[in-house]
Amino acid sequence: DSGVTQTPKHLITATGQRVTLRCSPRSGDLSVYWYQQSLDQGLQFLIQYYNGEERAKGNILERFSAQQFPDLHSELNLSSLELGDSALYFCASSVDWGELFFGEGSRLTVL
């Protein structure tokens, strides 16, 4: 158990819909990262937050947004969903940099 909790574990929705994925980092970790994992693209970095502030942005679509709350949990919002958004979405946390601790992921299926 990495100590990172992600909900929901599975989510099935339709195209055009909006979903929210939630992540609780390890106790004491200030950084939260979001990654998208698909079969053909591997693990793609989406965005990083550090202590409530956006620190780095990767290949995150404009339809996606994230935030980190004062209690350090984070949410990833995915809107206007398309079939190609079906993937595993991982949250990871770290104290600052270095070792990332990953949750078990949220599997999103868009039908």
31 contributes a contact to other proteins by CB under 8 A: yes
> Between 69 and 97, whose beta carbon lies closer to other proteins?
97
CA distance 54 to 50: 6
**Which residue in the block uniquely carries the two structure tokens 């053909």?**
40
Pair of tokens at residue 65:
């947004």
111 contributes a contact to other proteins by CB under 8 A: no
> Between 53 and 62, whose beta carbon lies closer to other proteins?
53
89 contributes a contact to other proteins by CB under 8 A: no
Contact positions with other proteins (CB under 8 A) in 40-79: 41-45, 47-48, 50, 55-56, 58
Q: What is the CA radius of gyration of the chain?
A: 13
Q: Smallest Cα–Cα separation from 21: which of 35, 39, 31? A: 35
22 contributes a contact to other proteins by CB under 8 A: no
Please state whether beta strands 10-13 and 106-110 pair in parallel, antiparallel, or not at all (unpaired): parallel
Q: Maximum distance among all alpha carbons in the chain?
A: 38
Smallest gap from residue 80 Cβ to other proteins (A): 24
Residues near other proteins (CB under 8 A):
2, 4, 31, 33, 35, 41-45, 47-48, 50, 55-56, 58, 90, 92, 96-105
